[in-house]
Amino acid sequence: MHNKNIKRIVQKELKKNYPNWNRLNRKTKKEISRKVLAQVAGEYDFKQEISASSDELLGVEQQVQTKGIISLDQMADIVNESKNNNIMKLCGKSRFAKYIKDEELRFIDQLLDNEIINRLLAYEGYSPAMRDLFPHNMFRAELLKTIKYPEISYRKFCDKEYLGLDRKQNRAFIGLSLREKAIIDHTQLSKFRHSLTFVQQINITVYILHLFCSPGCLVTIFCTEWTLPNWPMNVKSPWLH
């Protein structure tokens, strides 16, 4: 925390002594920053107690808390509620899990709850009765694209070569019908990614963190890299220890 306190003091000194900071070029800013940092660090007493609050040390003392963000404790309640609800339990799981042979995809499929994903990523005014594709279909498609086909474009991914009726594993993981030819268009995926709000992105990340914190989960996860829509989550392993 002393390093953060030093950074806070440096920022305070820069703001005080260089009111025209924003007008300076990058090279000048670097030179001044190094000089002030060396001076502050040289005079700093690492044995002193830090009087600054956690918000000040993190630089978020003036940040307004965003409404709608779910905490880990609240997420645990949501997940437990879903587990105890028989109807949601039936709706939350894939109907075609037997077609998912890939070990990594099968583990992720068993881990995710579709109804919770729909709840977290649904837009205002969303109604399941209005939809052929749900938020969980889009989210799973994003995961599949990132995990198994990171090197190809979205336009190529959203084609029968990867999502056709003969690609049962891919369709089963996403939750697409194994009988009807309908697939997700790349423009739909693009619209889904760009429509996610900051709160939705944070909440789905909290959900994933909750799953990772579940008893026994970290012992069996073997993703080498998992990227959620719009924001990367690198999970180094093989299969987290």
166-201 confidence digits (pLDDT tens): 999 999 999 999 999 889 999 999 999 999 999 999
* Vertex 65: Cα angle to 59 and 70 (nearest 5): 120
What predicted TM-score, i.e. pTM, was given to this entire model? 0.66
Facing residues of 228 across strands? 231
pLDDT at 85: 78
Nearest Cα to Cα of residue 105 among 53, 143, 54: 143
Among 46-60, 94-108, 174-188, top mean pLDDT goes to 174-188
Q: For residues 106 and 112, what is the distance between their CA atoms, to the nearest angstrom?
A: 10
SS3 assignment, position 98: helix
Is residue 107 within 8 A of residue 94, CB to CB? The reply is no
Q: For residues 204 and 178, what is the distance between their CA atoms, to the nearest angstrom?
A: 27
Mean pLDDT of the chain: 84
pLDDT at 132: 80
Instruction: Give residue-wise pLDDT tens across range 82-99.
Output: 888 765 555 545 667 889
Which H helix or E strand runs over 24? none
For residue 62, is pLDDT > 90?
A: no
Is residue 14 within 8 A of residue 35, CB to CB? The reply is no
Q: For residues 187 and 185, what is the distance between their CA atoms, to the nearest angstrom?
A: 5
- Quickly count: other Cβ atoms within 10 Å of residue 60's Cβ: 11
User: What burial class does residue 17 get, using C-beta atoms within 10 Å of its C-beta: 0-12 exposed, 13-18 middle, 19+ buried?
Assistant: exposed
For residue 21, is pLDDT > 80?
A: yes
Alpha-carbon separation of residue 223 from 38, 114, 125, 178, 234 (angstroms): 42, 20, 34, 26, 9
Percent of the chain at pLDDT exceeding 70: 80
pLDDT at 66: 79
Q: For residues 98 and 121, what is the distance between their CA atoms, to the nearest angstrom?
A: 26
pLDDT at 171: 95
Output DSSP code: residue 48. Answer: S
For residue 220, is pLDDT > 90?
A: no
pLDDT at 90: 53
More confident residue, 90 or 211: 211
For residue 234, is pLDDT > 80?
A: no
pLDDT at 213: 84
Facing residues of 231 across strands? 228
For residue 237, is pLDDT > 50?
A: no
